[in-house]
Structure 1
Amino acid sequence: MDVFADLGRPLRARDLCQALDLPIAKKNTENIRAKLKRLVNQGILVETEPGMFAQPRSQPNC
């Protein structure tokens, strides 16, 4: 979650692998993608477009 906060932009699974110093291998990117999809289902992340994941923007309280 820190990577999303630090970069402040949507990330692909591959980008997250690089940020976490994981080898860019199909196994790693597929595992990260599956975890990101679970976080989307839990409402922790949003998928802004297919394959792009980001933290939801907080709505300002008026």
Structure 2
Amino acid sequence: MRITRKTLPALREPASPTPPTVKLPDHPAYQQIMAVFAAADAPLRARAVCEAMDLEIAPNNVNNVRLRLKRLAERGILIESEQGLFAKPQS
């Protein structure tokens, strides 16, 4: 028991001071999306992102952008403040 009491605290991993950085996917569309959000001053919907990227406003394009926005939100790069409304997290 004495040995266990001494070794268990030593085995605990130290808490990392900073969270790991999240890498942006390599596809150029993600770079364009992040450029749109860098210039935006308010949360955006997928349709507004399509317009800012000069994409045709077709259901297929809007859905593709929405899926990419959701992926970015899952990774913590963007936040979805309400359903379908995306923004950059406050830093």
Q: TM-score, with normalisation over the residues of structure 1?
A: 0.90
Distance 2:37 2:73 in 1: 13
Please state how far the C-alpha of 1:8 moved relative to its aligned partner: 1.7
Identity %: 55
Aligned to 2:38: 5
Aligned to 1:26: 59
Q: TM-score, with normalisation over the residues of structure 2?
A: 0.62
Partner amino acid, structure 2, of 1:7: A
Partner amino acid, structure 1, of 2:76: G
Partner amino acid, structure 1, of 2:89: P
Please state how far the C-alpha of 1:7 moved relative to its aligned partner: 1.5
Cα deviation, 1:2-51, whole Å, max 9, x if unaligned, reads 21121121000000000000000000000000000000000000001110
Secondary structure of the corresponding residue to residue 72 of structure 2:
helix
Aligned to 1:51: 84
Higher Cα Rg, which structure: 2
